[in-house]
């Protein structure tokens, strides 16, 4: 405690301690995520518990430093320290260990979840079940798969209830109202002000989502009939081609306009080239290198997990890692040779390049300007995966055809715009859980109320409190805040438009790519190097020249599709 009399000395010591604890936790969690068994689960939970206990102790020490003694940089470090982890456990060691075990257990239950649909020879994992939802058009099969996977939440429900209690105790010990308020405090504004900012952004994009929803409902009604899809009202979630109805792009063949030209099939092209998982990652690395950024270190290729091992359970959910918080960069994926995973690999490397760019900053600044920035960087690169880019790297030839603009935009809207309300719901629900606005007896009921309110979807069958449907989403089971993804789906278009301008790329936003632009790379690199040292409006201004998040870039990108959807929806109800 004596070192708090010298704030600079205190933060040096705090960051040294946190770095050691964080590396230990990262290594243990990597082993657990890539080799799930009871021993690795225990090691991971213990390392996380030590990190939470250390963070809690240091955060309390920081609050004892008079504000008048803190300079601007130290004041920022003090704020970031209090909310540096998405989970703060109570200072009681036993409770800290308990909440860490609960999170590890819920994550393990999710990762090991399987279900055997009717006619299957053996239980299928989430990837295989998701393929059925994407490809089948039999509503009975879709309902069976949807219901079967959602059972994964049942057993973790008691664990989740206890986790909420312990997490809130930890957040309150360092001055937050609850864990949800702690998460919202990371956005350089008061928690309530951030909630209002989210509402403002949603209001900008809601009419576009409602138009896409109405068009999708009309086409699905024509496919499945009025007994399954109403003329107006919410859409049954299992018909939307995704386990959580969060992305609808697999429905493109059903929803594309007549006589449309879908153009190339990226999955088919990758398969024809005999592309390997490592080859997919090499393409993504080459994109960043084309911007003037350095290649990934050799250890990345030695230590990453690119494919699902055959001999053990792993967490297949794609993620990017910086194990030593300097340059031990890795990704963890079960890569499949698909267009979707091609984009996902570009996204994950966006995290890695961000991590390396700020690796020389003091530890508490080694993070994104806010977590939405971290998610948006890779997605911004993904928006440059266009026919122009694919032609430049030799995947696409003029003979393959780029397709028409309308189909291209519809497919991308079914991927991006359909996600926006789900991106809101996951944390809106958790904010209410953490605040106590909803209790355990109403978890599932309120989950579906919010999904109907924002997404306009309903479950295929009635749900009650014997189920725990939020637990069927990895981020809920693993204590990962989700609002970052909503923000990223706004920011990526704002970033994309600004970077295209800096690269001197003219023409429609949806056809432009920054591949090969050193000027776009310079502006991007300058933003990444800032890490969390400055508040996010400063980072946003560096990249875009603007100081507020805005959906204008998104609306500009999709303008032709928006006009077309409005025409298609004439005479049909919009909304639910």
- Helix/strand/coil for 6: coil
The answer to the question of residue 245 being in a domain is no
With CA atoms as reference, report the closest residue to 383 among 498, 536, 286, 270: 498
Say if 570 falls within a structural domain.
Answer: no
Secondary structure of residue 334 in the 3-state scheme = coil
User: Which pLDDT value is given to residue 1?
Assistant: 44
How distant is the alpha carbon of residue 356 from its chain centre? 20
Range of the domain at 27: 2-115
Residue 235's beta-bridge partner residues? Answer: 457
The backbone torsions φ and ψ at residue 280, rounded to the nearest 5 degrees and listed phi first, read -60, -45
- Pairing verdict, β 457-458 and 235-236: parallel
Does residue 203 lie in a domain region? no
Q: CA 83, CA 179: separation in Å to the nearest integer?
A: 10
Give me the torsion for CA of 407, 390, 334, 31, rounded to 10°: -130
Domain final residue, candidates 115, 148, 174: 115
Give the number of residues written for the chain: 576
Is the sign of the CA dihedral 484, 490, 494, 500 positive or negative?
positive
Q: Which of 65, 94, 115 is the last residue of a domain?
A: 115
**How far is residue 19 from each of residues 15, 25, 26, 186, 550, measured CA to CA in Å?**
6, 10, 10, 20, 35
Rounded to whole angstroms, the Cα distance separating 212 from 234 reads: 13
* Residue 388, in any domain of the structure: yes
What are the Cα distances from residue 126, in Å, to 144, 146, 291, 315, 416? 14, 10, 35, 11, 21
CB 40 within 8 A of CB 32: yes
Among residues 63, 96, 115, the one where a domain terminates is 115
Q: Please name which of 48, 65, 49 lies closest in space to residue 13, comparing C-alpha atoms.
A: 65
Query: Is residue 478 one of the residues assigned to a domain?
Result: no
Residues 6+ positions from 453 with CB-CB distance below 8 Å: none
In terms of Cα–Cα distance, which of 30, 9, 39, 13 is closest to 324?
Answer: 30
CA dist 318 and 345 (Å) reads: 8
Give the chain's domain count.
2
CB atoms within 10 A of CB 227: 8
The helix/strand/coil state of 342 is helix
From CA 75, how far away is CA 66, in angstroms rounded?
10
**Cα atoms in the Cβ-side hemisphere of radius 13 Å centred on 246:** 15
DSSP state of 333: -
pTM for the model stands at: 0.93
* CA separation for the pair 499, 512 (Å, rounded): 10
CA distances from 5 to 60, 63, 64, 134, 174 (A): 14, 12, 9, 60, 20
Cβ pair 266, 494 in contact under 8 A: no
Confirm whether 196 is domain-assigned.
Answer: no
Structure tokens at 173: 């010990």
315, 36 contact by CB (below 8 A): yes
* Angle formed by the axes of helices 339-357 and 371-383, nearest 10°: 130
Tokens 């004041």 found at: 75
Confirm if 178 and 435 have CB atoms less than 8 A apart.
Answer: yes
In 123-278, the DSSP E strands lie at: 235-236
Output b/e per residue, 305-314; b: 16+ Cβ within 10 A. bbebeeeeeb
The predicted structure's pLDDT at residue 63: 84
Contact 496, 179 (CB under 8 A): no
pLDDT the model gives residue 402: 66
- How does pLDDT run along the chain (576 residues), one tens digit per residue? 445 678 999 999 999 999 999 999 999 999 999 999 999 999 999 999 999 999 999 998 988 888 888 889 999 999 999 888 899 989 899 999 999 999 999 999 999 999 999 989 999 999 999 999 999 999 999 999 999 999 999 999 999 999 999 999 999 999 999 999 999 999 999 999 999 999 999 999 999 999 999 999 999 999 999 999 999 999 999 999 999 999 999 999 999 988 777 778 899 999 999 999 999 999 999 999 999 999 999 999 999 999 999 999 999 989 999 999 999 999 999 999 999 999 999 999 999 999 999 999 999 999 999 999 999 999 999 999 998 999 999 999 875 666 688 999 999 999 999 999 999 999 999 999 999 999 999 999 999 999 999 999 999 999 999 999 999 999 999 999 999 999 999 999 999 999 999 999 999 999 999 999 999 999 999 999 999 999 999 999 999 999 999 999 999 999 999 999 999 999 999 999
Whether residue 172 is contained in a domain is answered as no
Any domain includes 120:
no
Q: Please name which of 440, 395, 519, 482 lies closest in space to residue 184, comparing C-alpha atoms.
A: 482
Which H helix or E strand runs over 496?
A: helix 483-503
> What are the catalytic residues?
317-318, 347-348, 351, 375, 475, 485
Got the DSSP string for 428-468?
HHHHHHHHTSS-GGGHHHHHHHHIIIII-EE-SS---TT--
């Amino acid at each position: 405690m004596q070192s708090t009399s010298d704030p600079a000395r205190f933060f040096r010591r705090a960051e040294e301690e946190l770095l050691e604890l964080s590396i230990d936790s990262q290594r243990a969690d990597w082993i657990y995520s890539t080799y799930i068994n009871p021993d690795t689960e225990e090691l991971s939970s213990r390392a996380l518990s030590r990190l939470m206990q250390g963070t809690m102790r240091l955060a309390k020490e920081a609050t004892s430093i008079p504000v008048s003694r803190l300079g601007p940089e130290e004041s920022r470090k003090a704020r970031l320290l209090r909310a540096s982890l998405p989970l703060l456990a109570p200072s009681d060691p036993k409770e800290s260990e308990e909440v860490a075990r609960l999170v590890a257990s819920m994550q393990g239950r999710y990762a090991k979840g399987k279900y055997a649909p009717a006619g299957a020879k053996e239980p299928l994992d989430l990837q295989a079940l998701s393929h059925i939802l994407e490809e089948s058009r039999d509503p009975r099969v879709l309902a069976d798969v949807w219901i079967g996977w959602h059972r994964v939440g049942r057993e973790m429900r008691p664990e989740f209830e206890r986790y909420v209690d312990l997490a809130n105790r930890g957040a309150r010990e360092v001055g937050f109202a609850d864990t949800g308020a702690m998460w919202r405090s990371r956005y350089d504004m008061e928690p309530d002000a951030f909630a209002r900012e989210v509402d403002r952004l949603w209001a900008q994009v809601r009419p576009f989502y409602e138009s896409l929803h109405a068009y999708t409902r009309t086409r699905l009604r024509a496919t499945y009939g009025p007994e399954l899809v109403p003329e107006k009202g919410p859409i049954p979630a299992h018909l939307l081609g995704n386990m959580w109805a969060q992305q609808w792009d697999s429905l493109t063949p059903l929803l594309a306009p007549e006589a449309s030209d879908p153009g190339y099939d990226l999955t088919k092209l990758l398969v024809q080239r005999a592309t390997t998982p490592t080859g997919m990652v090499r393409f993504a690395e080459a994109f960043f290198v084309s911007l003037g950024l350095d290649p990934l270190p050799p250890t990345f290729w030695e230590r990453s997990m690119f494919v699902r091992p055959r001999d053990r359970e792993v967490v297949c959910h794609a993620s990017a890692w910086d194990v030593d918080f300097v340059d031990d960069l890795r990704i963890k994926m079960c890569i499949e040779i698909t267009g979707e995973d091609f984009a996902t690999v570009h996204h994950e490397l966006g995290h890695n390049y961000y991590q390396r760019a700020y690796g020389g900053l003091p530890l508490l600044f080694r993070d994104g300007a806010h977590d939405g920035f971290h998610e948006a960087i890779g997605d911004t690169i993904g928006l440059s995966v266009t026919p122009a880019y694919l032609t430049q790297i030799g995947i696409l030839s003029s003979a393959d055809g780029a397709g028409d603009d309308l189909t291209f935009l519809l497919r991308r809207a079914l991927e991006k715009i359909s996600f926006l309300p789900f991106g809101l719901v996951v944390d809106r629900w958790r904010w209410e859980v953490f605040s106590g606005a909803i209790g355990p007896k109403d978890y599932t009921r309120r989950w579906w109320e919010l999904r109907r309110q924002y997404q306009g979807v309903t479950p295929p069958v009635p749900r009650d409190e014997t189920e725990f449907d939020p637990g069927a989403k990895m981020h809920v089971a693993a204590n990962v805040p989700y609002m970052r993804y909503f923000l990223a789906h706004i920011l990526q278009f704002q970033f994309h438009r600004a970077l295209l301008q800096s690269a001197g790329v003219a023409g429609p936003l949806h056809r432009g790519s920054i591949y090969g632009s050193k000027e776009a790379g310079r502006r991007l690199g300058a933003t990444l190097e800032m890490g969390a040292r400055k508040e996010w409006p400063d980072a946003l201004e560096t990249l875009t020249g603007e100081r507020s998040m805005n959906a204008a870039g998104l609306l500009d990108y999709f303008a032709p599709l928006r006009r077309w959807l409005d025409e298609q929806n004439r005479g049909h109800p919009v909304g639910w």
